[in-house]
Amino acid sequence: MTDNDLHPEAPFNGDDLPRPAPIERFIDQLPRVRVLPLAACAVAAAAAWALWTHPPLRNVPSGEVGVCTNRFSGSASVLRAGTAFVLPGLQDLRVYDLREQTFHPADSASANGSAPFQSVEGLSLGVDVTAHYALEPARIATIARDLPPDVGGQVVGPAVRGVIYRVFTRYTVREIFSSKRAEIQQVIESELRPRLAADGIVLRDVQIGQVDLPADYKRGMEALLAEELASEKMRFTLELKDKEVRQAALEAEADKVKREKAAEAAGQEQIIAAKAQEEAMAHVLPFKQKQIQQRQLEAEAEKASRIKTAEGAAEARRIEAAGEADSRNKLADAEVYRLEKVGRSTSEQMAREGALITRHPLLIQKTMADKLSDKIQVIIAPPPADGGFIGSTLLGRATPVATTARAATTSDDSPESTQ
């Protein structure tokens, strides 16, 4: 039976069949291969690709811990820092950071942000909140089994936001901004710590930073703060004035008491001084009497000393006068003896010169010429008529030489006759 018999209304024609595609024709032309080796190669390639994409050797950095979970049995083992062997497809390794981590919702830091907080008045405000937490090392296996991989984003973040939203709705904007910030921080920590501890997360602390207020509320608060500051300033001013008045009264009272005490002290001091002076006079009067007696004795001793000194000085003067008189007598005797010696020597000299002139009369003329030689260059004088002394004509007188010699002889003889 042919196709034409089965379908008589549409006789079969080989030209009506669709032609195979070029890829099919290429495959038909390839030589026939065995299926088993080809499958083994495919499995090996898949295994190599799996080992490349999921290497069995995984590294756990320092400060972190790894949890290796068996996908079939569900058992988990904790791996410390180092290299771990993980079977791809059979085991799953999660690495958790044991160091302190921080959750900081940046979208809640601004009042105009995408997730601002709400106060009890219903106002939106932005608060810069930072939560510091860490995973409990003893419960890492439980955390890996019960919690999602992103602990910070899927567990800590929602818990922190929920507690902060709930706490902020109990307080006003002003309390959040200034007066009860520390209290709010303690309340958030006390509510958030047990909630995170149930999941094996240790909360270190929660810090509240800058508070971003709405613009309208900020302007109103600034005006209110200005009025409060003015009222506080006035209150402090009044208190200061009151304290100044009290201080002045206390100072006046203290000055009064000081003056009274000073007057009493001055009177007491005068009384004590009078008593002391009276007691001192009782001791001073005998002392003064002893001083008078001592001065009298000193005066008598000084008088006797002066008398002795005067007597000694007079005796010294008498001795000096006697010595001086003896000295003068001896000087006078020496002077007389000297004059006698000089006169005798002069007489003898004149006698010798007279005898020499008598023997040589021209010595007078030579002596005169020698005396005048340094003052007179030329002497012109007529010779004496009697052949006597040439200087007689110059002197204007004529003194016989014999008379001069005789006079000299007489003068030489007179001292001898006197002696």
pLDDT digits (tens, 9 = 90+) for 78-101: 777 666 666 666 667 777 788 888
Largest CA distance in the chain: 236
What is the distance, to the nearest Å, from the Cα of residue 152 to the centroid of all Cα atoms in its chain? 51
Percentage of the chain beyond pLDDT 90 is 5
Q: Which residue has the higher pLDDT, 8 or 113?
A: 113
Q: How far is CA 310 from CA 42, 297, 302, 313, 317, in A?
A: 157, 20, 12, 5, 10
Q: Is 174 helix (H, G, I), strand (E, B) or coil?
A: helix
CB 82 within 8 A of CB 91: no
Highest averaged pLDDT of the listed ranges 13-17, 48-52, 347-351: 347-351
53-88 as b/e: b if 16+ CB within 10 A? eeeeebebeeebbbbbbeeeeeebeebeeeebebee
Q: Does the pLDDT at position 29 exceed 70?
A: no
Closest by Cα among 191, 33, 212, 195 to 105: 212
Closest by Cα among 419, 275, 402, 292 to 348: 419
Rounded mean pLDDT, 370-379: 64
Alpha helix ranges (H) inside 54-155: 140-146, 151
The mean pLDDT of the chain is: 77
pLDDT confidence of 408, banded at 50, 70, 90? very low
pTM score? 0.42
Element (H, E) at 256: helix 215-359
CB 79 within 8 A of CB 68: yes
Tell me how crowded residue 120 is: count the other CB atoms within 10 A of its CB: 13
What is the reported pLDDT for 365? 74
Q: Give the Cα separation of 33 and 374 in Å (integer).
A: 177
Q: Give the Cα separation of 217 and 118 in Å (integer).
A: 13
Residue type, 206: V
Q: Give the Cα separation of 69 and 96 in Å (integer).
A: 13
pLDDT confidence of 47, banded at 50, 70, 90? low
All CATH 3.30.479.30 domain ranges in the chain, comma separated = 101-213
pLDDT confidence of 132, banded at 50, 70, 90? very high
What is the reported pLDDT for 417? 41
Q: Does the pLDDT at position 7 exceed 60?
A: no
Phi, psi torsion values for 304, nearest 5 degrees: -65, -35
pLDDT confidence of 135, banded at 50, 70, 90? confident
Q: Does the pLDDT at position 303 exceed 70?
A: yes
pLDDT confidence of 396, banded at 50, 70, 90? low
Vertex 148, ends 142 and 153: CA angle to 5°? 120
Q: Which residue has the higher pLDDT, 143 or 192?
A: 192
Strand order, beta sheet including 76-79: 76-79, 64-70, 91-97
CB 124 within 8 A of CB 181: no
**Is the CATH number 2.102.10.10 carried by domain 101-213?**
no
Q: Does the pLDDT at position 1 exceed 50?
A: no
Vertex 113, ends 110 and 115: CA angle to 5°? 105
Q: Which residue has the higher pLDDT, 178 or 257?
A: 257
Q: Does the pLDDT at position 35 exceed 60?
A: no
Highest averaged pLDDT of the listed ranges 12-16, 119-123, 340-344: 340-344
Q: Does the pLDDT at position 17 exceed 60?
A: no
In terms of Cβ atoms closer than 10 Å to its own Cβ (0-12, 13-18, 19+), residue 210 is exposed
What is the reported pLDDT for 409? 44
Vertex 225, ends 219 and 228: CA angle to 5°? 145
Q: Does the pLDDT at position 339 exceed 70?
A: yes
